Amino acid sequence: MNNTVVKVGGSLALYPEKLKALCTKLNEISKEHRLVVVPGGGEFADAVRCLDERFSLSCGASHRMAILGMDQYGLLLSDLITDSVAVSKLEETKYFLDLGKLPVFLPSNLLLKEDPLENSWNVTSDSIAVYLADRLEVSKVLLVKDVDGVYPNDPKKHPDAKLIKNLSASQLLAMNKRTSVDKALPKLLLKTSIDCFVVNGLFPERVEALLEGRDAVCTLIRG
């Protein structure tokens, strides 16, 4: 059975009941599919952004602080997903998957030790999820957010913006801007064979459809 990395965006915490519903759905799906949850940064990373603006932190400090914020959100998710277990090592992840558990990966132990990614706000939990998927030899990543996918312009500011349903990592890189995913993601995808789906977690049935190989409203970014 194939493994899938599911990054649960921190923005979903702004919708408590929706996030609980998503976590319930992930718990159900994990009985049939081997999932690894990677947390976003959300309000914890936003707090670091505010401190960065106030104190002009070094890139290394803000990067490490934001990763620690992902750990905090991960502990929240682990508390909301009934049959999950918080892990911090790759070998633990594989061990608990084999036991039928749903690992929630807390990234700070690995990333602060290895420091494999650019230290900047261009790198967020999106790129970190893909990096971890590559280390776990996973070929499919779901970036679960509070938007339907990738747009050429911010749909909140441009209501007429059309959802991009399918694009390559090269095409995303050529856009040369932060969309609903971080700017470092396309470069990372070009080094892998990972397919990345951007999907709206406010509709858990879409996440379930993608995991079951069915069509859903989303954006596929081909690695």
Give residue 156's pLDDT. 81
Give residue 176's pLDDT. 86
* Residue 29 and residue 60 in contact, taking contact as beta carbons nearer than 8 Å: no
Helix (H) or strand (E) holding 207: helix 204-211
Give residue 1's pLDDT. 62
Burial of 197 (0-12, 13-18, 19+ CB in 10 A): buried
The CA distance from 38 to 188, in Å, is 17
Q: How many CB atoms lie within 10 A of CB 99?
A: 9
The CA distance from 197 to 96, in Å, is 24
Phi, psi of 84 (to 5 degrees): -95, 165
Taking the chain (223 residues) in runs of 10, the rounded mean pLDDT of each run is 93 98 98 97 97 98 98 98 97 96 98 97 98 96 98 88 97 91 96 96 98 97 94
Q: What domains sit in the chain, N to C, each tagged with a CATH number?
A: 3-222 (3.40.1160.10)
The CA distance from 101 to 84, in Å, is 6
Give residue 157's pLDDT. 87
Helix (H) or strand (E) holding 29: helix 16-29
The CA distance from 72 to 63, in Å, is 15
Measured CA angle at 20 (ends 156, 205), to 5 deg:
70
Pairing of β 195-200 and β 219-222:
antiparallel
Tell me: the pLDDT tens digits for 180-203? 999 999 999 999 999 999 999 999
* Residue 149 and residue 164 in contact, taking contact as beta carbons nearer than 8 Å: yes
> What strands lie across the sheet with 166-168, from one edge to the other?
84-87, 102-105, 34-39, 3-8, 140-145, 195-200, 219-222, 166-168
| Residue whose entry in the numeric block shows the structure tokens 């081997």 | 34
